[in-house]
Structure 1
Amino acid sequence: MPQLIVLGVQDRDTADRALEIGAELDKRELLHLSDAAYAYQDGKGRPRIHQTVNTTGMGAAGGALWGTLIGLIFLNPVLGLAVGAATGAVAGKLTDIGIDDDMIRQIGSELEGGRCAVFLLADVETADRVVEAFKPLDPTVIQTNLSKENEEELVEALRS
């Protein structure tokens, strides 16, 4: 079962680096990343979310494919493509997979001083190597769904 770990980092550049580290660890099969994102506040203090999975784009592509196929059946592939892409984009926009967007926004609204919250939903295979990879970013643990004991171990490992 994937664990959710939310790390606080200094800024958006560090958050981008954290997502790159997560992707690299996933490629090396040290963890299996299901979803990742980060939250920050814009210049007006509103929480913003940077997602790694674009459900709108995926929905539009799938809708365009199905719309074209249906359009071919009814001898109007261009109309089918347009309707399918629009329908797929709307469906993709309304789809929430992985980490709950409301939780991301809520934590993002509590950030101060340009800080970011990095959200990782992953199955961790080798915890010690994953912790070592993230340690240079000097993150703080904001929230996890780990057991209390495992969360305390994570906090200590990132401090030392």
Structure 2
Amino acid sequence: MSNLIVIVYPTEAKAEEVRNKLFGLQREYLISLGDAVIATRTEAGKVKLNQIVNTTASGAAQGSFWGLLIGLLFLNPLIGVALGAASGAIAGALTDVGINDTFMKELSANLEPGKGALFLLVQDMTADKVLKEIEGYGGTVLRTSLDESKEQVLRDALGRASAQAEAPAAS
């Protein structure tokens, strides 16, 4: 079963830094991510989603391949590529992989402009090692589907980093 975790960072760049760190941990088999999206809100109030998979481009590429193959069979590969790319792009745009886009936009509508919300769909993780790696980045837990004890461990780990960042500023 996957768990949803949403953490708000002071900037989009900080959220991107944490996402890249998690991708590194995924290569070390410490975490398995189903999706990792960064949401920001512009000054105008529009929510932008920075997703790792562009389903429209992926669909167009797959459609082009299959269109070329079918076009070769019917001796008209150019039309096959064009029709395949168009239908693949449409199918890709209509496909929603991972976390629901509407849910992310609704949750991010209340973000302060400039902040970045990192949406994670975690399939599996070695929690103690992952938390140790990301606790230095701080952040505020906005929402999770974790049980209360695991959520509190996450909040405490991120809270320690926030407290350490504020301590030198107070001195």
Q: Shared fold (TM-score greater than 0.5)? A: yes
Structure 1 counterpart SS, 2:50: strand
Shift of 1:113: 4.2
| Alignment match, 2:144 | 144
Q: Secondary structure at the match of 1:117?
A: strand
Partner of 1:91: 91
1:129 is matched with 129
* Secondary structure in 2 matching 1:124: strand
Q: Which runs of 5+ in 2 are unaligned?
A: 161-171
User: What code does the residue aligned with 2:55 have?
Assistant: T
Gaps of 5+ in 1: none
Residue type of the partner of 1:66? W
- The TM-score, its normalising length taken from structure 2, stands at 0.89
- 1:16 Cα deviation after fit: 1.1
Structure-1-length-normalised TM-score: 0.95
Residue 139 (structure 1) shift: 1.0
Query: Which amino acid in 1 is paired with 2:6?
Result: V
The aligned counterpart of 1:36 is: 36
Alignment check: 8 A CA contact 1:107 1:117 kept: no
Determine the structure 1 residue equivalent to 2:67: 67
Tell me the SS of whatever aligns to 2:122: strand
1:25-64 CA-to-partner distances (Å, cap 9, x unmatched) read: 1101100111110100123121110001111111011101
After superposition, the Cα gap between the structure-2 partners of 1:72 and 1:84, relative to the gap in structure 1 and judged at 3 Å, is same
Q: Which moved more, 1:18-27 or 1:149-158?
A: 149-158
Aligned length: 160
Secondary structure of 1:97 counterpart: coil
- CA RMSD for the aligned pairs? 1.2
Aligned to 2:168: none
Q: For 1:130 and 1:59, how far apart are their aligned partners in 2?
A: 33
Larger Rg: 2
